Structure 1
């Protein structure tokens, strides 16, 4: 455990403590063991803390990792699988055990649990996005606890969220909650690996609060452990993603769940910036699937940085197959993705317009390829 102060306070922590609706993400290492599978004692302790928060008046959505981890031991595997077919097989066994375990534990408090399995496509597609949102909202109004997980039994490498930290951040946005709590086997953010001395021989520094990019200078984030796909890098990414939608984030150890879910006096807090992305711009930047790429010249890059629309004259190359209304990536001359936006035209039309000034185009092709209102930087 960290040596961080025992009574950390800040406006962001106070906001998390008082939040009327929260998403709580539970990491694989907090629920499962490589040799024995699900650990019911640890899960019960987490449910005790979640129930206390709900009795205090908060709506709680749980994002639970652990499906693959819960299927490893029953299938006689000795390590987390690396090939897709075995991962999906382990998930198919573990998902059933995981859902039953959550239901059994919450039943001690007469709580009903609803399982919500999502793939990246469900969040990227606007119609599926709305359906998932309605399901989560309805479960809350019916006083059931939504337990969300990635649908690992059908998700392929191409359509995965990547890890459940990202999934939790997207669910926090999807459900428009007031706070996100990430619980795992780490007790907060450090400047480096707390188990090892830094390059100068000094121990890693505990970071109590992140208010902006300057608080992350010099931070070295590592990858995940043997049971999960996440790591500090994924948690940092998820925290920044959630904060962009106006949701403050608390990163804490699952062993400290009681304090994390009561007064938020443990772990590292990520404050939300005063200005938040609109729901549509957030979807374009983080959730929508990109159907193509438009490479642009330096003049168009400068125009986009001044919040101007993307015109056909500045486009030098078109890739992919997209229709009008699809999200595409905008690429600078050096190959860097600098923006995403909704194309006003399909691939065939944009190809015809390539590099041509608006005034020489037919009247039906004189609108911007991407209007400034439909563009968001990345």
Structure 2
């Protein structure tokens, strides 16, 4: 048990746990049934101790790889989807065997990006998950890999877990991985590394120093975990990255113990619509702006105007999500564009009044209104 005075945070009422592919695959290429059972037993113990749990589990592709005799993760989409279709049944079966021994039911939920983007589906998914928790079942979520395309291309179950945590107002997100946490240097290339135990400002981290893709089994990496932490902490959700194979890791984390890397939750939750714009929607293009626009957005809290736009790329229509990037290429914000990419290119660098005079009153609008903009 953790001394209450030394706890990082109070025991959460609701916790979302994500476990990655590399933490569930054995040396023989098949699903590591012992590790799945270990994770499931820890989840049951957390529930028995008073914390409701939702699991986001990778592993379907890894399980399918073993069953199909593949030694390395495929790179082509059809084979990835075939592996997911073959492996998903084995994955959920292994969890259910352990949960059944404690009188609990596993509820398989397969989600895609549309379930967070389309409001009707979002509300339905949230209602279903909440009801499952009320009934004592354990939701086990994975991306709908067998039919989805973009999700497999990005391998972003970390991001999915953060969105689920936000959806359910969870107090804690636990990202279980094959590493101990976030290090101050790359352990693969540096002999002297130290674990970063606490991150108070995730936006202050240097992206260049954060590791990318991890083991070949999974498609995520520390960069996706840090990105997921950015989503979660803005939802007032504490996030911990820890080693999935550490004995009793979940109990230690849930009790607020000093395990892994703790990303401290922001005290105020970003409103749901801004979370949706900033993190759930796929960006269809980029709007490149000058230093004046960056200053106006970051310091002045202004809308993005055409006079500050240098150029735009991608394929987006009015109402689509876009990234706003400064002169150095760094991401400044995400927002909903009032213009298509072609129209925005026509008015880039012009004042709003000049654009309206040249092309009509329909161009007397902001490029992105501040209410539709999320600074990143």
The alpha-carbon deviation at position 166 of structure 1 amounts to 2.1
Q: Which one of the candidate residues 146, 149, 159 is aligned to 1:153?
A: 146
Is 1:339 aligned with 2:333? Answer: yes
Q: Which one of the candidate residues 167, 186, 197 is aligned to 1:208?
A: 197
Classify 1:180/1:352 alpha carbon distance in 2 versus 1 (closer, same or farther; 3 Å): same
State the distance in 2 between where 1:191 and 1:343 align: 37
Q: Which one of the candidate residues 223, 227, 233 is aligned to 1:233?
A: 223
Is 1:44 aligned with 2:33? Answer: no
For residue 3 of structure 1, what is the aligned residue in structure 2?
none
Q: Is the 8 A contact 1:34 1:227 kept in 2?
A: no
Q: Which one of the candidate residues 132, 144, 149 is aligned to 1:139?
A: 132
Q: Is the 8 A contact 2:65 2:71 kept in 1?
A: yes
Is 1:367 aligned with 2:343? Answer: no
Give structure 1 stretches of 5+ with no counterpart.
Answer: 1-5
The alpha-carbon deviation at position 8 of structure 1 amounts to 8.2
For residue 80 of structure 2, what is the aligned residue in structure 1?
87
Classify 1:337/1:212 alpha carbon distance in 2 versus 1 (closer, same or farther; 3 Å): closer
State the distance in 2 between where 1:356 and 1:286 align: 30
The alpha-carbon deviation at position 25 of structure 1 amounts to 0.8
For residue 312 of structure 1, what is the aligned residue in structure 2?
306
The alpha-carbon deviation at position 351 of structure 1 amounts to 5.7
For residue 299 of structure 1, what is the aligned residue in structure 2?
292
The alpha-carbon deviation at position 295 of structure 1 amounts to 3.4
The alpha-carbon deviation at position 113 of structure 1 amounts to 1.4
State the distance in 1 between where 2:242 and 2:286 align: 38
Q: Which one of the candidate residues 10, 14, 18 is aligned to 2:9?
A: 14
Superposed, 1:91-130 pairs within 5 Å as 91-130=84-123
The alpha-carbon deviation at position 189 of structure 1 amounts to 2.9
Q: Is the 8 A contact 2:322 2:336 kept in 1?
A: yes
The alpha-carbon deviation at position 147 of structure 1 amounts to 0.6
The alpha-carbon deviation at position 377 of structure 1 amounts to 1.9
Q: Which one of the candidate residues 274, 285, 310 is aligned to 2:278?
A: 285
Q: Is the 8 A contact 1:34 1:73 kept in 2?
A: no
State the distance in 2 between where 1:311 and 1:79 align: 48
The alpha-carbon deviation at position 180 of structure 1 amounts to 0.5
Classify 1:137/1:7 alpha carbon distance in 2 versus 1 (closer, same or farther; 3 Å): closer
State the distance in 1 between where 2:32 and 2:113 align: 28
Q: Is the 8 A contact 1:34 1:78 kept in 2?
A: no
Classify 1:179/1:299 alpha carbon distance in 2 versus 1 (closer, same or farther; 3 Å): same
TM-score (norm: length of structure 1): 0.85
CA displacement 1:242-297 (0-9 Å, x = unmatched) = 22222111222223335335523222222113344322222212111223433334
Classify 1:45/1:284 alpha carbon distance in 2 versus 1 (closer, same or farther; 3 Å): same
Superposed, 1:161-172 pairs within 5 Å as 161-172=154-165
For residue 239 of structure 2, what is the aligned residue in structure 1?
249
Classify 1:299/1:39 alpha carbon distance in 2 versus 1 (closer, same or farther; 3 Å): closer
For residue 59 of structure 2, what is the aligned residue in structure 1?
66
Secondary structure in structure 1 of the residue aligned to 2:9: helix
Classify 1:309/1:35 alpha carbon distance in 2 versus 1 (closer, same or farther; 3 Å): same
TM-score (norm: length of structure 2): 0.85
Is 1:223 aligned with 2:189? Answer: no
The worse-fitting range, judged by mean Cα deviation, of 272-281 and 208-217 is: 208-217
The worse-fitting range, judged by mean Cα deviation, of 231-240 and 20-29 is: 231-240
Secondary structure in structure 2 of the residue aligned to 1:92: helix
Secondary structure in structure 1 of the residue aligned to 2:284: strand
Give structure 2 stretches of 5+ with no counterpart.
Answer: none
